Amino acid sequence: MKIAISAGEESGDILGSDLIDSLRDHRNDIKFIGLGGEKMKKKGLEPLFPFQEISKMGLIEPLFSLKKLLKRRKQLIDYIIAERPDVFIGVDSPAFNLGISRKLKLETNIKTIQYVCPQVWAWRKKRIKNFSSYLDHIFCLYKFETEILKKHNLKSSFVGHPLAKKIELDINKDKYKDKLSLDKSKVHIALLPGSRDSEIKKHINDLLSLVEYYKNHNSRLKFILALTKNSKKFGFEEKLNELDNLSIIYDDSKNVLSASDFSIITSGTATLESALCKTPMFVIYKTNSLSYFILTRLIHSKYISLPNILSGKKIVKELIQSQVNLKNLVHELDILMDEDDKEMKLNFEILHRSLINNNKSKFFSVIESL
């Protein structure tokens, strides 16, 4: 059996890696081709090109690289058509992957699956009407999505979130502090500015200003900047000489969040990871003005962070656009550290349990039946 996979960013690389593991539990002779990151490469995938080339944020930023994005997508489509896999699985990145599925359906009989349902419940709801013409199945991370898709006669299945399975329900913070050699007499704050270049550029200055502020106002606080290895090119290590209350850890967000007492996180998958690690947080998000203007007219959800969206209520504080400034960051962090966080952690546990699916054949049985 040959399966083509396309994962275009860090969160998709995590999902794709878990997918490969799950499928190989049933058949170890499957050949995986396509696009993925370091985690999927370690599982045997041979990526056609570095997926950082297509990892673009928002609505406007990809337009500046549109020619290159389209060229790379055509290259991947041509490669898949030439290889004739049994199945194509697009992992998240719907703007990139749905176009591949659409083209494959027009020109081949390759079965197509989207892993991670496009967020039609949050924005651009009308897209769902076209899915049946080019998707044979959708793997959903969240149970409620299957009900939405069922109303439109779309085949789907709830597979749960691999992070929910990999992260224990009860986190022993001291164990993880020991693992990272952290001083337990200090309060540790995780800072996650995002994995994409554009996210980091929008958030890093405000976060470093926060670190500098507390260097002079609260010596008990120690900040951990959690980044991907791709972010080394920015040279943030130079800041360590100025900020003795800051450390940087690459490609280890799970351990960082498990060890940290609190976190400040850019909206995205990392907000869910922090909730699963039972780390109290508040969420930030900045983008360019034009992207934000468009998004406010397209998005139907009143929340931007996954813990709030999935719970259907405000569990964590959200700061958006101009609200993300030093004054507000200090204010919200002080509140977060002073308030009782039992209710927040309880909501995190409820959310965690709702995302677990231990059915080991959840992927393979669907693919085999197509």
Q: What is the rounded distance in angstroms from the CA atom of residue 139 to the CA atom of residue 116? A: 6
Backbone angles phi, psi at 189, to 5 degrees: -115, 120
CATH, range 2-161+356-369:
3.40.50.2000
Using the predicted structure, report yes or no on whether residue 120 has a pLDDT greater than 80.
no
What Cα–Cα distance (Å) separates residue 295 from each residue in 41, 107, 129?
Answer: 34, 33, 21
pLDDT one-digit tens code per residue, 57-69: 444 455 556 777 8
**Mean pLDDT over the full length of the chain:** 91
In this prediction, residue 68 carries a pLDDT of 79
CB-based burial of residue 65 (10 Å sphere; 0-12 exposed, 13-18 middle, 19+ buried)? middle
What Cα–Cα distance (Å) separates residue 153 from each residue in 111, 114, 139, 162, 253?
Answer: 17, 15, 15, 26, 38
In this prediction, residue 51 carries a pLDDT of 73
In this prediction, residue 290 carries a pLDDT of 75
At position 135, the amino acid (one-letter code) is L
In this prediction, residue 181 carries a pLDDT of 97
Domain boundaries defined on the chain:
2-161+356-369, 173-354
Using the predicted structure, report yes or no on whether residue 96 has a pLDDT greater than 60.
yes
Backbone angles phi, psi at 94, to 5 degrees: -60, -35
CB-based burial of residue 328 (10 Å sphere; 0-12 exposed, 13-18 middle, 19+ buried)? middle
User: Domain 173-354 in CATH: superfamily?
Assistant: Glycogen Phosphorylase B; (3.40.50.2000)
What Cα–Cα distance (Å) separates residue 208 from each residue in 54, 202, 285?
Answer: 27, 12, 15
Its sign, for the CA torsion 293, 295, 298, 303, is: negative
At position 286, the amino acid (one-letter code) is K
Across 11-35, b (16+ Cβ under 10 Å) vs e yields: bbbbbbbbbbebbeeeeeebebbbb
Q: What is the rounded distance in angstroms from the CA atom of residue 102 to the CA atom of residue 95? A: 11
The confidence band for 98, taking pLDDT boundaries of 50, 70 and 90, is very high
Q: CATH topology of 2-161+356-369 equal to that of 173-354? A: yes
- Which residue bears the tokens 């959800």? 301
Specify whether the CB–CB gap between 307 and 271 falls below 8 A.
yes
In this prediction, residue 47 carries a pLDDT of 86
Lowest mean per-residue pLDDT among 234-243, 311-320, 330-339: 234-243
Lowest mean per-residue pLDDT among 29-38, 55-64, 164-173, 195-204: 55-64
Q: What angle do CA 24, 26, 27 make, to 5 degrees?
A: 60
The token duo for 349 is: 């546990």
The confidence band for 95, taking pLDDT boundaries of 50, 70 and 90, is confident
Lowest mean per-residue pLDDT among 37-46, 140-149, 187-196, 285-294: 285-294
In this prediction, residue 59 carries a pLDDT of 47
Its sign, for the CA torsion 94, 96, 97, 103, is: positive
SS3 364: helix
Backbone angles phi, psi at 238, to 5 degrees: -60, -30
Mean pLDDT of 138-167: 93
At position 104, the amino acid (one-letter code) is L
The token duo for 188 is: 């540790």
DSSP E strands in the chain: the ranges are 2-7, 31-35, 46-47, 87-91, 111-115, 137-140, 156-158, 187-192, 221-227, 246-250, 262-266, 281-285, 317-320
